[in-house]
Structure 1
Amino acid sequence: MAVIGKILRNRRATAAELAWGRANLGAGDVFEVTSTDFAHEARLDIRHTMRRVGGQDLSPALAWSGLPAGYAGLLVVVEDQDAPFGGPFVHALALIEPGISELATGALGSGTDAEGVRLLRSSWGRGYMGPGPIRGHGPHRYVFQVFALAEPVALPGGRALDAATPHKVLDAARACGRGRIDGFYERS
């Protein structure tokens, strides 16, 4: 499979295609997002990767501070900026109730019922799916984004959020602040 990774080495999504680059999610101040499981721009531990590559599919712990006053909730988006697809691969998408200031390790997992966390559809299933880039494709940037919402997310026509694709949810969300922490993972 390393041959496929080398063939696709120059095919990657771009930073501009991340949720972070969307105009409707770019408003407000930037706040701090941290993790006790990895430092900003550091390598993600194997336990946070897919089971298929030897990991445990455990979402890293996340914490945030300095949120704007009066926010309506949070939207957590985990994307692979370097996926060799038509855009970033969404590894997790979740709504977090106001007042929650951190998520424990594993809180975004599909089998987890963390209080105040509503898991939505990602690019593949529901709940956190850890990194598992193509062997030989090079390092992948995983962007853990937290958006403070100006209002609750509502889809046009009252459609259900739980069945919506990530792009529909991201199109409908309006941020009044945002923060992020990035990690890397590579399979050689």
Structure 2
Amino acid sequence: MTLERPIAPDPYELLPTVASFTLTSQDVQNGEPMDAAHAHGSTGGGNVSPQLSWSGFPAETKGFAVTCFDPDAPTGSGFWHWVLVNLPADVTELPRGVADGDLRGGFTVRNDYGEQGFGGAAPPPGDRPHRYVFAVHALDVDRLDLTPDATPAYVGFNLTFHTLARATIRPTYQIAP
């Protein structure tokens, strides 16, 4: 059963325009279906974050944040799968399956599953393909004044005021009925 509802807007089209830079991945590609390795364990997936690397960000970048958001989740507010903050400016790659202990001072806040770390894709079975917006935010500060208890929405609010540039990859995921 496909849920009949309009396609949600891309979340970054609703925010102030910022410069862009390059985000690449060995695991996910724009507009292409993700492997089940990046789906949530509740769907039989591996719940593994994809490899990401970035370049070409502004020279004045002092830190990074990485997020993954599903604007197509049938919630009225989308679904945050990953919110990683306070990465140092010299971190320009995350390996596949990165753990919080490997973030050189960075940390994740609780995702919308209520878990720390990456939470893989899990759209309703039979729903249209969902977009998963992986974004790297180049920041004008080395640290956002946040704790691991911050909500993804509060992180997003802070990112709006500190993002110099943003790079995105938008793979998809769908579960057959």
Percent identity over paired residues: 30
Runs of 4 or more off by more than 4 Å in structure 1? none
Matched residue, 2:89: 98
Q: How does 1:55-94 map onto structure 2 within 5 Å?
A: 55-94=45-84
Q: Which AA in structure 1 matches 2:84?
A: A
Residues 31-62 of structure 1, C-alpha deviations (whole Å, 9 max, x = no match): 01010012222110011101111111000000
Gap regions ≥5 residues in structure 1: 155-159
Does the alignment pair 1:9 with 2:4?
A: yes
Q: Contact 1:121/1:165 (CA < 8 Å) preserved in 2?
A: yes
Paired residues in the alignment total 170
Q: Which AA in structure 1 matches 2:88?
A: E
1:21 Cα deviation from its structure 2 partner: 3.2
Q: Measured at CA, do residues 19 and 168 of structure 1 come closer, stay the same or move farther in structure 2, by a change above 3 Å? A: farther
Does the alignment pair 1:119 with 2:112?
A: no
For 1:33, what is the secondary structure of its paired residue? strand
Give me the whole-angstrom Cα distance separating, in 2, the residues matched to 1:140 and 1:55. 16
Does the alignment pair 1:182 with 2:170?
A: yes
Q: Which AA in structure 2 matches 1:169?
A: V
Gap regions ≥5 residues in structure 2: none
Matched residue, 1:168: 154
Q: Contact 1:12/1:83 (CA < 8 Å) preserved in 2?
A: no
What TM-score, normalized to structure 2?
0.88
Match of 1:41 among 31, 52, 56: 31
Give me the whole-angstrom Cα distance separating, in 2, the residues matched to 1:81 and 1:170. 14
Does the alignment pair 1:21 with 2:7?
A: no
1:67 Cα deviation from its structure 2 partner: 1.0
1:119 Cα deviation from its structure 2 partner: 1.1
For 1:136, what is the secondary structure of its paired residue? coil
